[in-house]
Amino acid sequence: MTKKRLIVSYKNLSPEVLKALKAKYPDGFTDHLIKINKNETEFFYAVSVETDDAIYLVKVDVEVKNVQNDDDDDSFPDIEPAPVAGADVDFPEEEEDDDDYADDPVDDDDED
């Protein structure tokens, strides 16, 4: 038997699916968000979770920050999960990396 595939909003999760989500992502799902394009201009972010009878794509509200940072070469915006009413999921804080490897020259001529 094939499992059902469902898309559901985080705020509408059943207790069973919420429990499965917390079990799959005990440290939070921020690093596991995927972007789903609905059409050329609309999209949403989601995480997947599986129960005994279905595979869920859980839509998550996120806040996209378009902050210019000269130290950041990424062309992608920062993604922060938006608070969801009644949500009891902890999101890990992102650690700052103080190492700056861009200033360290790479010597590839060690093949003497």
Q: Is the Cα torsion angle 59, 74, 69, 71 positive or negative in sign?
A: positive
Confidence of residue 62 (pLDDT cuts 50, 70, 90): confident
- Residue 45: the pLDDT is 92
| Residue 8 pLDDT > 90 | yes
d(CA 5, CA 101): 44
Q: What is the mean pLDDT of residues 41-59?
A: 92
Angle at 78 between CA 76 and CA 80, to 5 degrees: 145
- Residue 61: the pLDDT is 86
| Residue 6 pLDDT > 70 | yes
Q: What is the mean pLDDT of residues 79-100?
A: 56
| Residue 54 pLDDT > 90 | yes
| Residue 39 pLDDT > 60 | yes
Average pLDDT, the chain: 75
